[in-house]
Structure 1
Amino acid sequence: MRALKVLTGFSLFILLLMPLTTLKAQDASKADPEHYKVEVDNDKVRILRISYGPGEESVMHSHPEGVAVFLTDHKAKMKTGDGESFEMDGNKGDVMWLEKSKHQPSNIGDKPFELIQIELKDNRNVPGYKSLHLFELPEGVTEKQISDHLKEMNQALSEEGYHNTGYHLYKLPGQNTENYQYFLEGVWPDAATYNKAHNSEKWKKTAEKGREMIEKIRAKELYLKATKVE
């Protein structure tokens, strides 16, 4: 198995400095779709297929941290976000860890080169906005009914493009509270996303299916909205 390629000298020094630069450049696939094609995109990773012909150059763009797998030999020049530049070359099969970066690559070789870049997504982000519900099970409503309905709503949110949002149901230990049996948490990046998501057609259509059940819960629930303190 080929080990991760280790860069030496000036190239390594520049790559280590890249995370310290201000990353305001545009996403690679939007800034330069000619050279960057999205192959896979989910809530964990995005995988790009990158290809450059001889002499071709990109525009300044950014990437999160991840891994590059080179499918061909390569010789490239890299301009960084802080105005520096360096050259790099390597072989087919090289694997390289990449820090978060802002750069502008170009192919300075006489042959095309291609690579796969696996961009990691940060799933540890703390939600900036939450909706909080404490309630007892209303008469005629079961735990499974609520759980199934929340799964449908979360699926609708995902299909509308609102990833890392949605609802989570918890059952409270009896000794901790005498008034409420369940805690329902809605998780959102911010209040604006919360409002947009609740106005999306797919979410409203799905929510309507459980409207009667939710109204029974709301009749006696303790409902709060909370914003993260920075």
Structure 2
Amino acid sequence: MNIKLIGGVLAACLVSGVVFAQDPTIVEPKHYKLAFENDEVQVVDIHYGPHEKSKMHSHPGGVVVYVTEGHLKFTDEKGNVKEVYAKAGESRFFPPFKHKVENLEDKPFDAVYVGLKTKAGEKK
């Protein structure tokens, strides 16, 4: 077999493994459950119990809709911290970023994340 072909296949496997390894439904199945997915969007149900924390993961840019209220701490890969106060029924846009999450409340937190797989107006 051609060494370049083998190297290319191995490189592709490694790259795809890194991409999928950060998918929250794979890295954090306790907190993130896939509800729906197609070529355009990935819809994920989010649930954090009281004071639960996630591992580092990433989402595509998208919109989160808060099902319950909550107080969350987001820490990005550089250690920058942002606290978010979520109100039930609110929605918010998040750009793609790598982060971990901590529920700072004594009660569970639930939300739905709609991750965009394409840019607006982009055709696949």
Aligned match of 1:53 in 30, 49, 54?
49
TM-score under structure 1 length normalisation: 0.43
TM-score, normalised to structure 2's length?
0.78
Q: Deviations over 1:92-140 (max 9, x none)?
A: 0110011111100010111101000000112748xxxxxxxxxxxxxxx
Higher relative contact order (CA 8 A, sep 6+): 2
1:68 equivalent in structure 2: 64
Q: Structure 1: any 5+ residue segments left out of the alignment?
A: 1-23, 126-163, 165-230
Q: Compare the two structures and name the one with the higher helix fraction.
A: 1
SS at match of 1:33: coil
Aligned AA (1:107): N
Higher strand share: 2
Q: State yes or no: 1:42 paired with 2:38.
A: yes
The one of 104, 107, 110 aligned to 2:103:
107
Deviation per residue, 1:179-202 (Å, 9 max, x gap): xxxxxxxxxxxxxxxxxxxxxxxx
Name 1:17's counterpart in structure 2. none
Q: Which has the larger radius of gyration?
A: 1
Q: How does 1:1-230 map to 2 (within 5 A)?
A: 26-122=22-118, 124=122
| 3-state DSSP of counterpart to 2:26 | helix
Separation (CA, whole Å) in 2 of partners of 1:121 and 1:89: 26
Identity of aligned residues (%): 37
Secondary structure at the counterpart of residue 30 of structure 1: helix
CA distance in 2, matches of 1:48, 1:40: 7
| Count of residues in Structure 1 that have an aligned counterpart in Structure 2 | 104
Which whole-Å CA distance do the structure 2 matches of 1:102 and 1:35 have between them?
16
